[in-house]
A and B are shown apart, each in its own frame.
Chain A
Amino acid sequence: GENVEQHPSTLSVQEGDSAVIKCTYSDSASNYFPWYKQELGKRPQLIIDIRSNVGEKKDQRIAVTLNKTAKHFSLHITETQPEDSAVYFCAASTGYSTLTFGKGTMLLVSP
C-alpha cells in the first residue's frame, strides 16, 4: 500500500521567515495530496490541496508543489506568523479515497 514520509518532524522559524515541509510517497497511482493543519487539541483542518494534474498551487501565503516523477510534494509558508504554529500533516490518496498520512511536522514560529 501507500507509504508517506514527512520531513522534518519539527521546524522552528522566526516570524517573517519562510517554512518548507516535504513529503514523499510510494504509490505512483496517488492522485490527490492534501495538507492539514492541526492546532493543539483541535481537529485537523484542510489548508490546501493539489491534484496530480497540477504542479503548483498557491493560496495567499501558502503554496504546494508536486513533482510526480520524483513522487514528492512540499508545503511552503511565506511570511510566517505566530498563529501558523501547529502540526502540519501531508497525505496522499489513491483509488477509492482513503488517505495515507505522514507523521506530521510541528512548526513553531517565534515572535
Chain B
Amino acid sequence: GAGVSQSPSNKVTEKGKDVELRCDPISGHTALYWYRQSLGQGLEFLIYFQGNSAPDKSGLPSDRFSAERTGGSVSTLTIQRTQQEDSAVYLCASSLVAASTDTQYFGPGTRLTVL
C-alpha cells in the first residue's frame, strides 16, 4: 500500500516568511510524528499526534512552530517568521497506534531552506 507522503519535497523561503509542511500518513495509522533532521545530525523529535490530539509538544523549538491534524489523517506543520536556523529536513512518520513498541514508518521529508 501507499507509504507516508509529504509535500512539498523542497521549500525555499525568505527569512521572516511563514511556511506550511504537509504530511499524509499511512491509511489507518492513528499516530503521527514530526521530526527535524539538521545536516549531519540525528532526528530531533518535535511533536506527535494520537488521532487529532497532540499529547506531547515538548520538542517544538519555539512558539513559532505549531502543528495540527484534522480528521485523524493529514497533518500540517507550520513555521511562522522563519529563521535561517530553521533550515533542515522535516520528516513525518506514522504508526498504527501511539505505543512505545509500535514501528514508525517515515515519509521522504521536506527539505526547508531559509535564505
Question: Contacts of B72 on A, CB cut-off 8 Å?
Answer: none
A46 interface contact, C-beta 8 A: yes
How many residues of chain B are within 8 Å of chain A by beta carbon?
27
Q: Is the CB of A99 within 8 A of B104?
A: yes
B23 interface contact, C-beta 8 A: no
Q: B105 is contacted by which of A31, A46, A103 (Cβ under 8 Å)?
A: A46
Contact A43/B107 with A96-B55, A99-B45 known, Cβ cut-off 8 Å: yes
Tell me how far the C-beta of A28 lies from the nearest C-beta in chain B, rounded to whole angstroms.
Answer: 14
- Which A residues form the contact surface with B (CB < 8 A)? 6, 31-32, 34, 36, 42-46, 49, 51, 89, 91, 93-104
Since A34-B104, A97-B98, A99-B33 are in contact, a sample of 5 more A-B pairs with Cβ atoms closer than 8 Å, ordered by chain A residue number, is A43-B91, A49-B103, A89-B43, A98-B59, A100-B45
